[in-house]
Amino acid sequence: MERTCLIIKPDGLGKRVVGEIIKNFESQGFKLVGMKMIRGGREKLEKFYEIHKGKQFFEPFMKFVSSMPVIISVWQGEKAVSRVREIIGATNSREAAKGTLRNLYGTDNRRNLVHASDSLENAKRETEYFFTQDELFDYGWDDWKDK
CATH code at position 130: 3.30.70.141
Mean pLDDT, range 130-137, rounded to an integer: 96
**Residue 4 pLDDT class (50, 70, 90 cuts):** very high
Total domain count for the chain? Answer: 1
Domain that residue 113 falls in: 2-135
Assess contact for 85 and 2: CB atoms under 8 A: no
DSSP per-residue codes, 55-115: STTHHHHHHHHTSS-EEEEEEEETTHHHHHHHHH--SSGGGSPTTSHHHHH--SSSS-SEE
**Residue 44: pLDDT band by 50, 70, 90 thresholds?**
confident
- Number of residues in the chain: 147
Q: pLDDT at residue 40 above 70? A: no
The pLDDT of 91-115, averaged and rounded, is 91
Residue 52 falls in the annotated catalytic set = no
Residue tagged active-site, from 115, 116, 123, 126: 115
Q: Is residue 81 part of a domain?
A: yes
Does residue 26 lie within any of the structural domains? Answer: yes
d(CA 122, CA 28): 22
pLDDT higher than threshold 90 for residue 97:
yes
- Mean pLDDT, residues 36-63 taken together: 81
The CA-atom distances, in angstroms, between 101 and each of 23, 46, 116, 135 are 11, 25, 12, 26
pLDDT value for 90: 92
Contact 40, 70 (CB under 8 A): yes
**Whether the predicted pLDDT of 147 surpasses 70:** no
